[in-house]
């Protein structure tokens, strides 16, 4: 058993690991390195762009923490340069307000970074705000200067770039388009940009003249430096069978030449293309591995290293000495492309469920264990998992999967899971968890899985609103019938109050679907052996179908589109007393709400249901020790809210790691507002500034109380409900929607929600199908 | 003689290897599957699977429905094809055209036929329209036990042609002189049918009878197209059970159900062969 102190240490270590730049060298001599990995819980720092000069990798980050990191692959050292002052100046928070020649106030933003002729540059645009709109004036090229731990931008003699093609108009406002990639070749800067149609365009700028041209390249996906001073462009055609083409683009001649082609189901996962001129090899990342194709010969491509970054929005660049720098907004890694330097052992993981903890574990493990190469295979079909086990397939060492899926159920029932009893660490950590979680991880008393995430939703209510409306906890509905009673009486009670009944965006159809499916789903779980066509279910569904949806203040489906325009008219600012989709596990949002467990009968205990994301060891794995070590790292890297949801003794509230930083920023905004107020004489502007200052000061005053990653309230809410939580052991809706009968049920269910089919129709159908499925067994 | 056998062996070997690989080995492998639990340990469980499958409610339902449908479809198919072949055998003008036409449904893909069938038996379709015109109540043909009617009719319509062709071949092989002689002796149609036609076509009739049963046992495509993996209970067949078990990769239950069913079929066919032998001896 691990004590509280050890857990605290573990948590502290985890938070530090996910947010801080990792500077410790990996144990192996491969030079592989995690530059940054941020966590989906906090997102306090994320990668903007990576630029490369020789062996130096420049990484620009944004967020509460913002910096330029310079990592040298030769020395393995990282230097950090703060960009706060630089960004403040760009945002007009300097001593002097930034004014155009016409006296209009503007702020500046960095559109993109690029490396050119041994220097790093930024392209800056001005955001000019008028009374009735805004304009963009862009294309200013500034040079990055790094000195004394500070980053700054200095003017250059380079001409202003022709920026018109990078601006999007929406009414009286203009916006700068989103630039996804930037690369230089010769005197040209090529930018991949999302155009008006949503397709990516390639804009090429002459850095010496400032001229711009748009290349005629359809279905652009990615751009990089190519062979012989040309560009490397990736195009994908998703019509029919996916088809990815990698071409070279000659800017001068405006011609393309095919370098490599890929066809097949998973071509959309081929990302991070880069070219290394020294060995004339094309590098790309797919399915968790980096491949090298000499002269673009992909048929004979060789896997050279692992790369666990999620493929979507991934980019890569090559250093002079053959390291591939791969990044996306939430992480950046350096990978050696010499296959002889790879870890001696390779373990493969097939993730069939997402977990930020499992994601963090990849970075933590590969950083610590350079002797083990970890490949996270993104391309996989869960339906073939059982067959793989029956074939004693040892290719994949670890799987992650949702515990409520029918595939997991079959795997679990047949015992295709390696024992984890040999790991003391896993036994201890799981021993700290709630009994229902421990039970879900065991088979015949043996540990066979680790929990990595928890899902589950329920109806919820606003605690403060509930008491302000004169209710006590004793008045909370305990059964579905009482909930329905409440829906009949509560609307009248809300007249003239500061609350609304449900969320603004909830449509009539959406509410009916959520209510009906919640009733049926909970019924199926709590009474697995019962028929559906019972008086209880009939009565509840009849009641639910007869609710006065207008009276509940729900909008029509077609009103959903202009909901934001009618926000005030519909009373959107009012908090909802009841909500339909509230998370059962501990979360860091909507902490003013509490779950509402409901039973079917007065004398029955109400329940909440959850399912787990679990990871397990392939019993045929050839590397069970290494794979088990990876599972240990997964457990140690669980995200905070998940760890709190699993362990009853984790009760210390947690601040965001950048809480103080955020607070400092708000104080700074308040200071700036005060300063502006002192300097401004115009009455109208003063009024505006006073209002802004008041809002900032209010936010600052409430900041400590409200800004929690895990608040005391969230912990208390969850702990009070934990005894009512049950595992959702089978995916009820998948049984109905899956297979050949899915379409029939889908039509029936839609008809039911639209009032064309009766309660009897649905229940009779379900009885027949579900009963048959249950009787058949698996 | 011995030398000749040795010479024959190399010629038989490729065929024998094929039979061993594709019939004998899977058959034995299947038996092994049916005796293990399919878990990671793949433990030998003896006849446990047979006991469990036999007691499974859905297996029992599938077996019951399959048997019921078989005993409706097979005799009906046999009788109808025999009568139709007698009729077609007597048609003289354009007889060839009719005899060929009867085989057409057998050649048509089931999915295409099914669409027409579903339209006919729809609640507002032509079948109900005729019933209504005759003063009857419309029937929900495509739900519940009533769904068996279109399924059985579809099966008969589709398989009739093939059985008729076998009967016709047998009928046309009977020498006409036998009938002429019988007629001269004063034998009527019935006397000719039972004393000449029937004894002469017993082997073919038995073949048709067996084929009718085999096809009826395999009645699934029609059910699957209409009702999917989980049709209404009166239509859930043993093939549904085995198909669903296969999609769940429960090879133990698939093979167990298959061997139980095979045992029943062998017993039934054994009985049929016995009866055929008895009948043949009696007629001779």
Q: Tokens standing for A580?
A: 């339909």
Q: Is residue B203 part of a domain?
A: yes
Which of B224, B232, B244 is nearest residue A768 as measured by Cβ atoms? Answer: B232
Q: Count contacts between A and B (CB, < 8 Å).
A: 52
**Closest approach of B232 to chain A, Cα-based (Å):** 7
- Phi then psi for residue A24, to 5 deg, are -70, 140
- The pLDDT, as a whole number, for residue A615 is 97
Which chain A residues touch B51 with a CB distance below 8 Å? Answer: none
Q: Tokens standing for A72?
A: 């040298």
Domain at A514, CATH number: 3.40.190
- Verify whether the Cβ–Cβ distance A741 to B245 is below 8 Å: no
- Verify whether the Cβ–Cβ distance B249 to A410 is below 8 Å: yes
Closest B-chain CA to A740: B228
**What are the start-end ranges of the H helices in A527-581?**
535-545
Distance of CA A135 to the CA centre of its chain: 32
Distance CA A749, CA A755 (A): 10
State the burial class of residue B164 (Cβ atoms within 10 Å of its Cβ: 0-12, 13-18, 19+). Answer: buried
Q: Is residue B1 part of a domain?
A: no
Which of A416, A741, A776 is nearest residue B228 as measured by Cβ atoms? Answer: A741
Q: Is residue B71 part of a domain?
A: yes
User: Which of A418, A772, A778 would you mutate first to test chain B, the one with the most B CBs within 10 A?
Assistant: A772
Which chain A residues touch B55 with a CB distance below 8 Å? Answer: none
- The pLDDT, as a whole number, for residue A239 is 65
Which chain A residues touch B62 with a CB distance below 8 Å? Answer: none
pLDDT digits (tens, 9 = 90+) for A11-45: 444 434 343 344 333 433 367 888 988 876 766 78
- The pLDDT, as a whole number, for residue B196 is 86
Distance CA A621, CA A420 (A): 13
If residue A19 lies in a helix (H) or strand (E), which one and from where to where?
Answer: helix A4-19
Q: Is residue B125 part of a domain?
A: yes
- Verify whether the Cβ–Cβ distance B233 to A777 is below 8 Å: no
Q: Is A729 on the interface with B (CB under 8 A)?
A: no
Boundary (domain end) residue, out of A194, A215, A236? A215
ipTM: 0.79
If residue A191 lies in a helix (H) or strand (E), which one and from where to where?
Answer: strand A188-194
**Closest approach of B231 to chain A, Cα-based (Å):** 8
- The pLDDT, as a whole number, for residue A17 is 39
Q: Tokens standing for B69?
A: 């449908």
Distance CA A230, CA A257 (A): 10
Chain position carrying tokens 């965001």: A656
CB-facing half-sphere around the CA of B149: CA atoms within 13 A: 14
State mean pLDDT over B207-233. 83
Q: Is A444 on the interface with B (CB under 8 A)?
A: no
A152 with A246, same domain? no
Which of B38, B224, B244 is nearest residue A776 as measured by Cβ atoms? Answer: B244
Q: Is the pLDDT of residue B100 over 90?
A: no
- Verify whether the Cβ–Cβ distance B251 to A416 is below 8 Å: no
What's the per-residue H, E or C state across chain B?
CHHHHHHHHHHHHHHHHHHHHHHHHHHHHHHHHHCECCCCCCCECCCHHHHHHHHCHHHHHHHHHHHHHHHHHHHHHHHHHHHHHHHHHHCCCCHHHHHHHCCHHHHCCHHHHHHHHHHHCCCCCHHHHHHHHCCCCCCCCCCHHHHHHHHHHHHHHHHHHHHHHHHHHHHHCCCHHHHHHHHHCCCCHHHHHHHHHHHHHHHHHHHHHHHHHHHHHCCCHHHHHHHCCCCCHHHCCHHHHHHHHHHCCCHHHHHHHHHHHHHHHHHHHHHHHHHHHHHHHHHC
A481 with A559, same domain? yes
Q: Tokens standing for A314?
A: 């991934």
Domain of residue B222 covers 44-283
Distance CA B44, CA B63 (A): 26
Report the DSSP beta bridge partners of residue A231. A225, A249
A87 with A203, same domain? yes
Q: Where are the beta strands (DSSP E) in A255-389?
A: 255-263, 271-276, 281-286, 289-294, 302-306, 315-318, 323-328, 331-336, 345-351, 372-376
- Verify whether the Cβ–Cβ distance A417 to B40 is below 8 Å: yes
A204 with A87, same domain? yes
Which of A386, A389, A741 is nearest residue B229 as measured by Cβ atoms? Answer: A741
Which chain A residues touch B228 with a CB distance below 8 Å? Answer: 739-741, 744
Q: Is residue A530 part of a domain?
A: yes
Q: Is residue B277 part of a domain?
A: yes
CB-facing half-sphere around the CA of B26: CA atoms within 13 A: 9
Q: Is residue A772 part of a domain?
A: yes
Say what angle helices A356-368 and A4-19 make with each other, to 10 degrees: 80
Distance CA A291, CA A302 (A): 5
- Verify whether the Cβ–Cβ distance A386 to B249 is below 8 Å: yes
**Could you count the other beta carbons within 10 Å of the beta carbon of residue A650?**
22
Distance of CA A303 to the CA centre of its chain: 28
Q: Is the pLDDT of residue B200 over 60?
A: yes
Which chain A residues touch B57 with a CB distance below 8 Å? Answer: 775
A89 with A129, same domain? yes
Instruction: Tell me the CA end-to-end span of chain B in Å, nearest whole number.
Output: 36
Distance CA B74, CA A690 (A): 91
Q: Is B250 on the interface with A (CB under 8 A)?
A: yes
Q: Is B42 on the interface with A (CB under 8 A)?
A: no
Closest B-chain CA to A738: B229
Q: Is residue B9 part of a domain?
A: no
A349 with A335, same domain? no
- The pLDDT, as a whole number, for residue B3 is 60
CB of A207 closer than 8 Å to CB of A188: yes
A189 with A172, same domain? yes
Q: Is residue A74 part of a domain?
A: no
If residue A672 lies in a helix (H) or strand (E), which one and from where to where?
Answer: helix A659-679
CB of A257 closer than 8 Å to CB of A299: no
- The pLDDT, as a whole number, for residue A537 is 93
Which chain B residues touch A390 with a CB distance below 8 Å? Answer: 38, 249, 251
Residue numbers of chain A with a pLDDT score lower than 70: 1-30, 40, 42-43, 94-95, 238-242, 729-732, 738-741, 778
A445 with A532, same domain? no
**Could you count the other beta carbons within 10 Å of the beta carbon of residue A87?**
17
Which chain A residues touch B245 with a CB distance below 8 Å? Answer: 776
Q: Is residue B11 part of a domain?
A: no
Which of A386, A387, A740 is nearest residue B228 as measured by Cβ atoms? Answer: A740
Question: What does DSSP say about strands A457-462 and A323-328: parallel, antiparallel, or unpaired?
Answer: unpaired
Which chain B residues touch A776 with a CB distance below 8 Å? Answer: 56, 58, 241, 244-245
Which chain B residues touch A443 with a CB distance below 8 Å? Answer: none
Which of A410, A414, A768 is nearest residue B233 as measured by Cβ atoms? Answer: A768
Nearest alpha-carbon partner for A316 in A121, A63, A57, A65: A57
- The pLDDT, as a whole number, for residue A631 is 97
A436 with A468, same domain? no
Which chain A residues touch B232 with a CB distance below 8 Å? Answer: 768
If residue A299 lies in a helix (H) or strand (E), which one and from where to where?
Answer: none
Q: Is B247 on the interface with A (CB under 8 A)?
A: yes
Domain count, chain A: 5
User: Mean pLDDT, chain B, as a whole number?
Assistant: 86
A292 with A370, same domain? no
User: Which of A776, A777, A778 would you mutate first to test chain B, the one with the most B CBs within 10 A?
Assistant: A776
Boundary (domain end) residue, out of A339, A368, A403? A339
Nearest alpha-carbon partner for A459 in A583, A572, A544: A583
A756 with A634, same domain? no
State mean pLDDT over B241-266. 90
Supply angle C-alpha B200, B157, B105, rounded to 5: 95
- Verify whether the Cβ–Cβ distance B228 to A768 is below 8 Å: no
Distance CA A610, CA A600 (A): 18
Q: Is B241 on the interface with A (CB under 8 A)?
A: yes
Q: Is residue A379 part of a domain?
A: yes
Q: How sure is the predictor about B284, in pLDDT bands with cuts at 50, 70 and 90?
A: low
Which of A387, A414, A740 is nearest residue B38 as measured by Cβ atoms? Answer: A414
Domain of residue A634 covers 1-28+343-454+613-656
Which chain B residues touch A409 with a CB distance below 8 Å? Answer: none
Q: Is residue A76 part of a domain?
A: no
Domain count, chain B: 1
**Could you count the other beta carbons within 10 Å of the beta carbon of residue B8?**
10
Does residue A102 sit in helix, strand or coil?
coil
Distance CA B40, CA A771 (A): 28
Domain at B182, CATH number: 1.10.3720.10
Distance CA B250, CA B244 (A): 9
Q: pTM value?
A: 0.82
**Closest approach of B254 to chain A, Cα-based (Å):** 11
Q: Is residue A204 part of a domain?
A: yes
**Closest approach of B41 to chain A, Cα-based (Å):** 8
- The pLDDT, as a whole number, for residue A26 is 42
Say what angle helices B148-172 and B198-217 make with each other, to 10 degrees: 150
- Verify whether the Cβ–Cβ distance B233 to A772 is below 8 Å: yes
Which of B236, B251, B253 is nearest residue A772 as measured by Cβ atoms? Answer: B236
Q: Is residue B30 part of a domain?
A: no
Nearest alpha-carbon partner for A346 in A298, A426, A290: A290
Q: Tokens standing for B136?
A: 């009857």
Q: Is residue A727 part of a domain?
A: no
């Amino acid at each position: 058993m691990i004590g509280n102190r050890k857990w605290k240490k573990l948590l502290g270590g985890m938070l530090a690991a996910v947010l801080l730049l990792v500077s410790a060298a990996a144990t192996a001599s491969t030079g592989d390195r995690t530059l940054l990995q941020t966590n989906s819980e906090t997102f306090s720092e994320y990668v903007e762009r990576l630029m490369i000069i020789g062996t130096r990798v420049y990484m620009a980050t944004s967020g509460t923490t913002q910096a330029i990191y310079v990592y040298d692959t030769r020395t393995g050292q990282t230097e950090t340069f703060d960009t706060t002052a630089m960004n403040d100046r760009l945002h007009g928070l300097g001593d002097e307000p930034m004014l155009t020649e016409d006296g209009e106030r503007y702020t500046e933003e960095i559109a993109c970074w690029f490396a050119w002729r041994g220097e790093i540059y930024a392209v800056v645009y001005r955001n000019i705000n008028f009374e009735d709109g805004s304009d963009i004036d862009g294309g200013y090229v500034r040079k990055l200067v790094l000195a004394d731990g500070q980053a700054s931008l200095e003017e250059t003699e380079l001409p202003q770039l022709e920026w018109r093609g990078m601006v999007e108009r929406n009414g009286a406002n203009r916006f700068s388009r989103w630039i996804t990639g930037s690369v230089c070749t010769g005197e040209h800067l090529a930018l991949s940009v999302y155009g008006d149609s949503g397709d990516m365009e390639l804009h090429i700028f002459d850095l010496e003249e400032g001229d711009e041209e748009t290349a005629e390249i359809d279905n652009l996906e990615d751009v990089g430096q190519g062979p012989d001073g040309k560009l490397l462009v990736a195009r994908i055609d998703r019509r029919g069978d996916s088809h990815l083409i990698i071409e070279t683009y000659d800017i001068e001649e405006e011609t393309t030449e095919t370098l490599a082609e890929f066809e097949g189901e998973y071509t959309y996962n081929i990302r991070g293309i880069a070219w290394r001129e020294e060995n004339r090899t094309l590098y790309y990342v797919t399915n968790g591995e980096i491949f090298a194709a000499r002269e673009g010969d992909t048929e004979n491509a060789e896997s050279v290293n692992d790369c666990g970054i999620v493929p979507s929005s991934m980019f890569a660049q090559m250093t002079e000495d053959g390291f591939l720098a791969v990044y996306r907004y939430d992480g950046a890694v350096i990978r050696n492309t010499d296959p002889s330097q790879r870890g001696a052992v390779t373990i493969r993981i097939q993730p069939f469920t997402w977990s930020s903890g499992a994601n963090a574990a990849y970075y933590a493990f590969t950083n610590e264990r350079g002797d083990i190469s970890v490949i996270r295979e993104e391309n996989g079909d869960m339906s073939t998992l059982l067959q793989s086990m029956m074939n004693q397939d040892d290719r994949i060492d670890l799987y992650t999967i949702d515990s409520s899926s029918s595939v997991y159920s079959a795997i679990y029932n047949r015992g295709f899971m390696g024992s984890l009893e040999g790991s003391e660490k896993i036994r201890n950590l799981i021993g700290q968890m709630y009994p229902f979680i421990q039970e879900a991880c065991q088979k015949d008393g043996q540990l066979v899985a680790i929990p990595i995430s928890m899902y589950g939703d329920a109806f919820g209510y606003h605690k403060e609103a509930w008491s302000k409306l004169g209710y006590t906890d004793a008045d909370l509905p305990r059964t579905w019938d009482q909930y329905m009673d409440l829906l009949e009486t509560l609307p009248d009670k809300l007249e003239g109050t500061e609350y609304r009944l449900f969320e603004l965006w909830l449509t009539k159809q959406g509410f009916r679907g959520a209510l009906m499916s919640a009733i049926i789903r909970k019924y199926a779980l709590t009474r697995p052996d019962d028929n559906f066509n019972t008086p209880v279910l009939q009565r509840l569904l009849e009641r639910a179908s007869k609710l006065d949806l207008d009276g509940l203040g729900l909008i029509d489906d077609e009103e959903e589109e202009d909901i934001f325009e009618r926000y005030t008219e519909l009373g959107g600012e009012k908090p909802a007393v009841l909500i339909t989709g509230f998370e059962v596990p501990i979360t860091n949002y909507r902490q003013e709400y509490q779950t509402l467990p409901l039973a079917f009968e007065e004398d029955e205990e109400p329940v909440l249901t959850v399912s787990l994301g679990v990871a397990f060891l392939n019993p045929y794995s050839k590397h069970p020790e290494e794979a088990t070590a990876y599972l240990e790292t997964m457990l140690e890297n669980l995200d905070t809210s998940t760890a709190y949801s699993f362990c009853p003794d984790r009760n210390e509230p947690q601040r965001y790691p950048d809480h103080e930083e955020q607070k400092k920023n708000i104080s700074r905004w308040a200071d700036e507002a005060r300063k502006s107020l002192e300097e401004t004489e115009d009455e109208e502007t003063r009024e505006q500034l006073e209002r802004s200052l008041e809002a900032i000061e209010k936010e600052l005053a409430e900041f400590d109380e409200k800004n929690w990653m895990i608040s005391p309230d969230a912990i208390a809410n969850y702990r009070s409900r934990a005894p009512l939580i049950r595992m959702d052991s089978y995916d009820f809706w998948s049984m109905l929607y899956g297979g050949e009968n899915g379409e029939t049920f889908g039509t029936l269910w839609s008809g039911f929600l639209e009032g064309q089919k009766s309660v009897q129709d649905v229940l009779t159908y379900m009885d027949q199908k579900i009963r048959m499925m249950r009787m058949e067994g698996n | 003689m011995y030398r000749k056998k040795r010479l024959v062996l190399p010629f038989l070997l490729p065929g024998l290897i094929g039979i061993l690989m594709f019939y004998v080995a899977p058959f034995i492998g299947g038996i092994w599957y049916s005796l293990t639990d399919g878990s990671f340990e793949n433990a030998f469980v003896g006849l446990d699977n047979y006991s469990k499958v036999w007691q499974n409610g859905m297996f029992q339902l599938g077996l019951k429905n399959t048997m019921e449908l078989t005993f409706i479809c097979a005799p009906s198919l046999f009788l109808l094809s025999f009568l139709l072949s007698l009729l077609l055998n007597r048609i003289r003008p354009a007889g060839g055209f009719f005899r060929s036409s009867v085989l057409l449904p057998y050649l048509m893909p089931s999915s295409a036929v099914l669409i027409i069938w579903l339209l006919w038996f729809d609640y507002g379709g032509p079948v109900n329209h005729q019933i209504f015109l005759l003063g009857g109540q419309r029937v929900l043909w495509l739900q519940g036990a009533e769904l068996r009617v279109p399924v059985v009719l579809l099966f008969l319509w589709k398989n009739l042609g093939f059985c008729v062709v076998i009967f016709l071949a047998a009928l046309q092989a009977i020498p006409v002189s036998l009938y002429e002689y019988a007629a001269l002796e004063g034998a009527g149609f019935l006397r000719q049918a039972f004393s000449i036609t029937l004894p002469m076509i017993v082997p073919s009739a038995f073949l048709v009878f067996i084929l009718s049963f085999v096809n009826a046992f395999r009645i699934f495509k029609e059910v699957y197209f209409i009702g999917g993996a989980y049709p209404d209970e009166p239509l859930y067949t043993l093939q549904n059970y085995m198909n669903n078990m296969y999609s769940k990769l429960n090879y133990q239950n698939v093979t167990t159900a298959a061997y139980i069913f095979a045992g029943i079929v062998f017993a039934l066919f054994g009985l049929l062969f016995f009866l055929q032998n008895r009948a043949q001896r009696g007629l001779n």
